[in-house]
Every structure is written in C-alpha cells, then in structure tokens.
Structure 1
Amino acid sequence: MTKDIYFQPNPRAGVIAWSGVLEKGTRPAAQDTSRAQVLFCYDGLMRIEADADRWFIPDRFGIWLPQGSKVSVDVAQRIEFQSFSLHTRLAQHLGMPDRPTVLRATPLIRGIGRRLMDADALPAAVQRRLGTVALDEIARLEHPDMHLPGSGDTRVSAVMSHLLAHPHDASSLATLAARVGASKRTLSRLFQTETGMSWRAWRDRMRFVLALEALQIGRKTTEIADRLGYSSPSAFVTAFRRQSGMTPTQWRHQR
C-alpha cells in the first residue's frame, strides 16, 4: 500500500522548497500543476510517469516539470526527496524546456533545498536571496537524457510493456511484431513515429535506464548483463558506455 505525502505551497510565494526522507512506497502527491516544479532524488531511486512516458531518476538527479505537468511519482526505495515549486512569473524566465526534462543535481541545489525547508525560521530577505540562487542553479543544471518515451498506439505499447517486463528478451522485430498482430515494417514505422526512436534505439535506452536502477540497488555487472539479455558482461559494459560515456564501475564511483 502506498502512502501519500502532500505538499501545499503558498500560491503567492516565488520559490517554495520541501526536503525530507520518503520511505519506499510513499507517493508524493498533490503537486500544484499551476506552478512549475523541480523534483530531486538523493540516496535512492524514483520513477516518474506522465501519460505513457517514463523517467527513471537515480541518486543526485531530478526532473523539471513545466506548468501543467500531471505526473505520478513512485519511490522505489528510501530516498531524500526535494521539491521546488516555482511561481509562473519566475519560471517563465528560466529558459527551461516546455516538457518534463531530467536534470543532474549539484551539491548547491541540494543545500538550498534543505535550507529553504526551514523558511519559517529565515528572514524574508534571506528567503528571497536563496530563492534567486535556486532559480539560477536550476537554469544551469545539465540535462542528461533518461526519458523512455511511451506510445498511444496499442501495438507499440504492448511491445513496450512486454520488453519492460522481460528485458532479457532478444527477439527480433519480426517476432515482436507477430506478437501484436503487426508486420515488421509497420511496427518499425510506428516506433519511429510514436517515439522519435527506432525500436532498437528504444530498447537500448530501456536497457540503460533499467541498468541504472539495478546499479543503484547494488546489483553486480554480471547479474545485470544476464537480466537485461546481453550476451556477456563485456557486451553490457560496451552498451552502457555508449549510452552514458562511462563504464558501470565509473558510474558507481561518480555518485
């Protein structure tokens, strides 16, 4: 059973932050869609879903949610969670994307979130200064691509669900197409149209984000390679480096 945690920012405040520990299964709720939001995850992993799209947010990453974004947040394990709620008049000057976007957190933004959590104990002038620094830092954060596009097409969605449930499945596109009653050519075209990615590129991205999740909870490289259907640990390492620019071991150490 999930437990909802509600955050209710002052609608007139410029920048409101919440920072604290959420246990596995806790669901942050009631995000104010009238304001832009930035959610960060530390010391764990969370998943974000919006319609058919998914984002896997590991330790020291977050997600930008423009005004109007309706998402669900799943806390996969105990994390430190931070939420920044930004007034529209401030958010619109940041030059941020008009769609949910993954962000790489910094020690500075984490510290600001913790400090602003005690806003009632801070003078108004200090709150404003911290809010200004938070806005500047958010606008400068890196945007690594951990987006796993979904699809409104039932055939593509069925293939995606199958692969997410069975990431080790190395079936050909023709075999996957037959599962959902489509031709190989049709399924290939639909993947490109629906996601902007080839089915193979989508599968590689899926394996990458699932690998991040596995690394986060301490799985070994050999175990991850087997679970995700790679022919060998070295093949997994090569694929991971292609997606991230580093090996799984380097990824662990840079956290």
Structure 2
Amino acid sequence: MPTCRHETHELAWASEGTATLRIDGIPWVVSPESAVWIPLGVPHKVPVLRKAIVFPLWFTDDAPVPDWTTTTAVWVSADLRSQLMRYIQSTFGQGTSASIERDRLLAMLPAHAQHEPQLPMPGDPRASFVAERLLADPADGRSIEDWAREIGTSSKTLQRAFVSTTGLNFVEWRVRARLNAALPMLAQGVAVSRIAEQVGYSSATGFIAAFRRQFGHPPTAHGHVATGSDAVPTRP
C-alpha cells in the first residue's frame, strides 16, 4: 500500500464496496455506511482499489472542521450519505455552491462520530502474518497451536508476540477482529445470525454475548437494527 500524508484534513468514504485503510498500523474500514476522518499530517496507507469506489474529501483549517485531533470513525446515515453526494456533486459545479454544501456536511459530522475501539496490529512479523489472514477471513477457526505449526514456531512464542505488540492475547485479538468485521454488516442490516456465521461464531448466542462484552450493548442496539433475514436498517 502506498503511504499518504496530507496538509489538509481528509474524510475517506466508499460509495460502493469496502476498503481498509491502515492508519498507525490499525485497520479502518470505509464503506457506504462508514467513513473515516483523518486529521491533517497523519500518515495512512491506501490499498489498491478494485472493488470499491472511495472518495477522499479534503478540508483545510479555514473550513468549519470538527475539533477532532485523532482519527475518528464516522457512521454514514441515510441523511449524511445524501449530504456527501450533494457536496461531491457541488464540487463539479452541480447544485448549490460547494462551500455551502461543504459547511452543511461538516456540521453533520460530530453527531455521527463512532467511538468503537480500533484493533491494534501486531508488530512482530509472525503474529502479523496470522493477523493479516484473520482479517481476510475472520471465520478461520484455527487455534494458536495450528497457526504456530504453520509458521514454524511454538504457540508460546506466538502468544508472546501478540501480547507484547498489541496488549491482547491471540484469542482476545481474534475476538476483536471478528467483532470489527461484524460492524459493516450490522450497518447494512444483515441478520445477526448470518453475521455470526460469517465472522466465525457457531451460534448467534455466542456472537451476541461477545458483542455485548465488547461494546456494552447487543448488536441489535448498535447503529442499525437487524434481527431477522429481512431486517431493514434503522437508527435507534
């Protein structure tokens, strides 16, 4: 991934598909339902995009930008999505002036800030190898012993690598990765039972319990409500 650093604030948003930016070694997902605010000067890595349409929107300090000094996730509601599109269109000379649409957009952002903990990436190359594969397939149920055999080390060494560079042991890190992977699906209104299966839980009950421990509320109370196969996204 190429590394970018801008002298302006950036709001990264995907109108279609999903993409993962890496900011200070931490993965941040952008999708139609989630954007990321990157303060000026913060280096970030941008993936080569094939299946996502990502809009990087830049704002200077003379605009009424949010008072955010750290990278911040932004929940993209239907109203915010409409405003994003109006602003993007205005930059091409369509509709209201770009400065008016920009200010309207920036005024909406603080109410859409999300504060879920982000996932630290291991600095150790052995643990990083495992972490990257779990991010690609959070449903992978292999144990730490299985992974240790694959990379030619001991499970104790691999465990120490996770703890020393992330503060989380292997199981804790995998749980966080699975729950983070669930967030975009919840935002899309995917049924909880289906999300549980896709991120590696054998039952919805286990997924709900893990989600509640991490976020303090069940998945049905997080952003959008999705309780059945035909659930419609709503905002509580």
| TM-score in same-fold range (> 0.5) | yes
Answer yes or no: is 1:157 the counterpart of 2:162: no
Cα 1:219–1:129 shift into 2, 3 Å: closer
Counterpart in the other structure of 2:232: 253
Counterpart in the other structure of 1:53: 26
Give the CA deviation at 1:55.
2.0
The answer to whether the 8 A contact 1:45-1:216 is kept is: no
Instruction: List aligned pairs for 1:32-51, cutoff 5 A.
Output: 33-42=6-15, 44-50=17-23
Deviations 1:118-137 (A, max 9, x none): 243567xx543433333332
One-letter amino acid of the counterpart of residue 246, structure 1: P
Cα 1:196–1:57 shift into 2, 3 Å: farther
Counterpart in the other structure of 2:85: 114
Counterpart in the other structure of 1:11: none
Stretch moving more, 110-119 or 168-177: 168-177
For the residues of structure 2 that align with 1:155 and 1:30, how far apart are their CA atoms? 23
Counterpart in the other structure of 1:209: 180
Q: Which has the higher strand share?
A: 1
Deviations 1:211-242 (A, max 9, x none): 34566788765555445432334323433454
**Unpaired runs of 5+ in structure 1?**
1-28
Cα RMSD (Å) = 3.9
For the residues of structure 1 that align with 2:80 and 2:189, how far apart are their CA atoms? 26
Counterpart in the other structure of 1:72: 46
Instruction: List aligned pairs for 1:186-225, cutoff 5 A.
Output: 186-212=157-183, 224-225=195-196
The answer to whether the 8 A contact 1:45-1:59 is kept is: yes
For the residues of structure 1 that align with 2:133 and 2:17, how far apart are their CA atoms? 26
Cα 1:231–1:135 shift into 2, 3 Å: closer
Aligned length: 222
Deviations 1:146-192 (A, max 9, x none): 73332331121022134335534434445544544555454444323
Q: Percent identity?
A: 24
One-letter amino acid of the counterpart of residue 71, structure 1: K
Answer yes or no: is 1:86 the counterpart of 2:86: no
Cα 1:232–1:135 shift into 2, 3 Å: closer
TM-score by length of 1: 0.65
Cα 1:232–1:158 shift into 2, 3 Å: same
For the residues of structure 2 that align with 1:107 and 1:223, how far apart are their CA atoms? 23
For the residues of structure 1 that align with 2:188 and 2:203, how far apart are their CA atoms? 21
For the residues of structure 1 that align with 2:94 and 2:205, how far apart are their CA atoms? 53
For the residues of structure 1 that align with 2:62 and 2:190, how far apart are their CA atoms? 44
The answer to whether the 8 A contact 2:196-2:203 is kept is: yes
Please state whether the residue corresponding to 1:158 is helix, strand or coil: helix
For the residues of structure 2 that align with 1:184 and 1:39, how far apart are their CA atoms? 38
Answer yes or no: is 1:97 the counterpart of 2:69: yes
**Unpaired runs of 5+ in structure 2?**
none
Please state whether the residue corresponding to 1:62 is helix, strand or coil: strand
One-letter amino acid of the counterpart of residue 14, structure 2: C
For the residues of structure 2 that align with 1:243 and 1:253, how far apart are their CA atoms? 24
For the residues of structure 1 that align with 2:157 and 2:171, how far apart are their CA atoms? 14
The answer to whether the 8 A contact 1:112-1:130 is kept is: yes
For the residues of structure 1 that align with 2:39 and 2:170, how far apart are their CA atoms? 28
